[in-house]
Amino acid sequence: MSDSTRSRPVAGAALLRGQVTNAITAAAWDEIAESGYARMSMEAVARRAGVGKAAIYRRWESKQAMIEQIVADLAWNAVPIPDTGTLRGDVGHYVADATEARGDQRMTRIVADLCAEATRNSRLARAFYATLRQPRRDAGAAMLRRAVERAELPADLDTDLALDCLVGLAHARPQTLTAAGDLADPYPQQRLVDVILTTLAACRAEPEP
């Protein structure tokens, strides 16, 4: 194969296939947002995407497989790891990133629906753990390790407990419903940062008997 052959642009058919995949993915998210995973059908996704069911089954063997891959490919799975030089600064950025992600109310509804489904579906639960839960905990663990090294947190920190508190308060805290029917965070970010810092300092390992 010549260099000129290798450098040819992607053929039109390949571009079209990518456009069809994107259309199916967008349609699947719309269906989950409106109907929920349990009631979503491949027929409904195909209609919304403007394709035949065969186009979907050429890509995924089932609804389960389709959603697992879509979840795994989400661009917003990557959680930034702040490194400001102080624990307060890092926690502030971590909370701000979480708040921004939670501001996408459509995606928040989708994630809530899929999380509920995951309690009944072990395969989906594993996909969620790998692509949603674990990146958040990895980012938090990096923050906590640096804070321990700077003596901002106790050397005997119970890391798992601290991560549960950090991720839970930043990402999984309840939202309130406004008069306009929108979801909103009930606490100012700075107050939440203060609470998280106090909580993390208390997350010490239990002494061995």
* CATH of range 11-64; options 3.30.2010.10, 1.10.3720.10, 1.10.10.60, 3.40.50.1970: 1.10.10.60
pTM for the predicted model, two decimal places: 0.71
pLDDT of residue 18: 83
Average pLDDT, the chain: 84
CA 17 to chain centroid, in Å, comes to: 26
Please report, in angstroms and rounded to a whole number, the separation of the first and last CA atoms in the chain: 70
CATH code of domain 75-201: 1.10.357.10
Alpha-carbon distances, residue 105 vs 17, 33, 41, 44, 180 (angstroms): 30, 10, 23, 22, 14
Confidence of residue 5 (pLDDT cuts 50, 70, 90): very low
Name the residue ranges covered by the structural domains of the chain.
Answer: 11-64, 75-201
Encode pLDDT of 60-109 as tens digits. Answer: 999 989 988 888 776 555 677 889 999 999 999 999 888 887 777 787 78
